[in-house]
């Protein structure tokens, strides 16, 4: 391994549901937990945004 290898960009951490976790370190597992928690927040925000739009449309058409 040369010193140039450290300058290469690292691939972003990804997680595949159901993948084998036995080969991952506790640091890698913690990183995946953080990744998934961020994704859960992003999904919940989109659900909230869509529910808000639906409620606004229902309110508009009830009038």
Distance CA 63, CA 58 (A): 9
- Residue 21 domain-assigned (yes or no): no
- Residue 40 domain-assigned (yes or no): yes
Q: What local confidence, expressed as pLDDT, does residue 27 receive?
A: 95
pTM score: 0.65
- Residue 45 domain-assigned (yes or no): yes
Summary mean pLDDT of the chain: 86
- Find the mean pLDDT for residues 4-22: 80
Q: Where are the beta strands (DSSP E) in the chain?
A: none
Residue located via tokens 């040369």: 2
Q: What local confidence, expressed as pLDDT, does residue 24 receive?
A: 94
10 phi, psi to nearest 5 deg: -85, 145
- Residue 49 domain-assigned (yes or no): yes
Residues in the chain: 63
Number of domains in the chain: 1
- Residue 9 domain-assigned (yes or no): no
- Residue 19 domain-assigned (yes or no): no
The radius of gyration of the chain's CA atoms, rounded to the nearest angstrom, is: 20
């Amino acid at each position: 391994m040369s010193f140039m290898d450290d300058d290469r960009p690292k691939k972003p951490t990804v997680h595949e549901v159901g993948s084998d976790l036995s080969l991952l370190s506790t640091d890698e597992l913690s990183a995946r937990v953080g990744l998934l928690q961020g994704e859960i927040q992003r999904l919940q925000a989109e659900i909230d945004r869509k529910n808000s739009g639906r409620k606004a449309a229902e309110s508009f058409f009830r009038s």
